[in-house]
Structure 1
């Protein structure tokens, strides 16, 4: 099975353990809301574009609310089974969904006060590093300084260049990826001029 499949199952296990009303790092969403988002993304192709397109977001929100009203076990069954056979996402699940499942799994894991980073094998660390560098190019594209990501192996990636100094974000790939996706529940070090570090940390990140 793919890493996306394994992460999907791990996410559902965590959602089952914490329950539908537990918080997540996705704004005001509960675990139920997040599960409904995942079901909509993979099974309601008419509404999924509203995740990114503001003009049709109200329709997407109504559809997601209707999905969230379903019994929680049914939602988790649909998340667990992944894109249906008729979905164009089905053959692309392994390529498209590892990052989605990983970030949202961490959204559930890190919403409580006592979370700890997971230990990932090298293959998964490398996959998450690729996500962090790819997302970093979008997340920090308007930063007023150069932004460099550095993982514990020493590998570096310059994800944005600017004349306003340099900020180096150091941490495990999972921490760098979560930060690039706009989450603040991370454990990383930021080196650079204080004003530049504050600007990178305070700015709206993600897409």
Structure 2
């Protein structure tokens, strides 16, 4: 009797602990379906390591850390989550790093517009002021159609929002104009 009751309480606590997360994700997907949001996505999973190898060149993907096979699968799952929910992508922007461009292409099936404002700030903190000055207006501008999707890096998203996302995780922003925005929430769409 006591074991049965403990089992039911444990089951109930698991359900109640999971429910707010699911509801939060559902609310974010509903917001995205309405359009008008800015979605910042950290590139998908890469080969192991931190930062880029010595001598990295932006115009040579072979010199950079790139997506792993698992990362490519996550990028595709991310795009599929958008398609299954009928979430429109208007403008698609990316960091100039190959791992961000590839994430955008695999997820959304088109080549993104590349902007240095979304570039990696890891190990490049001296670039933060200039990049954020270019990034804030993009994050604060309401999309003309659908949602603006920006694929970047954890360090860059953190510098703008104070949130350190996991790979292929989304941080949803509601533009307020004038370079201002509110964080609507975050979720890892590739895990759905």
Question: TM-score range, shorter-chain basis?
Answer: under 0.3
Q: Which has more helix, going by share of residues?
A: 1
Which structure carries more relative contact order (alpha carbon 8 Å, separation 6+)? 2
More strand by share: 2
Q: TM (normalized to structure 2)?
A: 0.26
